Amino acid sequence: MGLDKLQESLGYSFKDTQLIEQALTHPSCAQEQSIEATKTYQRLEFLGDAVLDLVLAEHLFHLYPDEREGFLARGRAALVKRDTLSTLASRLNINEHVRMSKLEKASGGQERSSILEDVFEALIGAVYLDSDLDTTRQLILNWYGDLQPMLEEILAEDNPKGRLQEHFQQQLRQNAIEYIVKKESGPSHNKEFLIEVYVAGKCLGEGSGHSKKEAEEAAARIALETLESEPLEAEE
């Protein structure tokens, strides 16, 4: 199946090769090649997402013993965001081995960041089922490399509110971006805020967090993702 090269790149040889084949099978194959929908990567992606969250949460917990929960949550979110995972997937040459329909492949599916992210997580789920948590943990940390400087670089660049402002700095007044609290819930020691971000009067996203700052940043990230697919032509 030509998977020896990928397994060498991953640093892991599967005992059950059906697992790696499933992890590399895009849902578009279900119709074109009469593959059962449950045999595509989606179920493994679900499992791998949970395993990845656990491994990174545990590692950050020990790596930053003096940091509060908010920092750890932001750190984990930065390490599992689409750009980070798709970059890691490309570095491991995963894109060269994804199985998909001819139409999906022709449209650039093998380089699409959302697909690379999904397959990366599916492979984690596959490794976990084929081995154990300790093996999977070690592989994940090997794939990430020196995690602390990597995370600090990502966090330094991850200023969604600033990036949203920069996006419109030539078009809008500084106060044309508004963050509005839609909902506030929970006890005083564990508040949860739901905030919407408006640009030129249009809601571009909403986000939640245990502080207004955290919720505003989450809303700004959603707005930036929205703008990638639906550019907004703002007016004064």
pLDDT at 100: 81
Please answer whether residues 221 and 157 qualify as being in contact, where contact means their C-beta atoms are separated by less than 8 angstroms. no
Percent of the chain whose pLDDT exceeds 70: 92
Which 3 state secondary structure label does DSSP give 34? Answer: coil
Give the residue extent of every domain in the chain.
4-157, 160-229
Question: What residues contact 112, with CB distance under 8 A and at least 6 apart?
Answer: none
**Domain covering 160-229, topology:** Double Stranded RNA Binding Domain (3.30.160)
What predicted TM-score, i.e. pTM, was given to this entire model?
0.68
Q: Using 50, 70 and 90 to split pLDDT, how confident is the model at 235? A: very low
For residue 224, which of 92, 67, 81, 33 has the smallest C-alpha distance? 81
Annotated catalytic residue within 45, 117, 118, 121:
121
Percent of the chain whose pLDDT exceeds 90: 45
Torsion, CA 111, CA 23, CA 91, CA 166, rounded to 10: 50
For residue 97, which of 38, 17, 32 has the smallest C-alpha distance? 17
pLDDT at 70: 81
**Domain covering 4-157, topology:** Ribonuclease iii, N-terminal Endonuclease Domain; Chain A (1.10.1520)
Active site residue 184: no
Annotated catalytic residue within 49, 117, 118, 158:
49
Helices (H) and strands (E) in the chain, counts: 12, 3
pLDDT at 234: 45
**Mean pLDDT (the chain, rounded):** 86
Active site residue 16: no
Q: Give 135-183 pLDDT, tens digit per residue.
A: 999 999 999 999 998 888 887 777 778 878 877 766 666 557 899 999 9
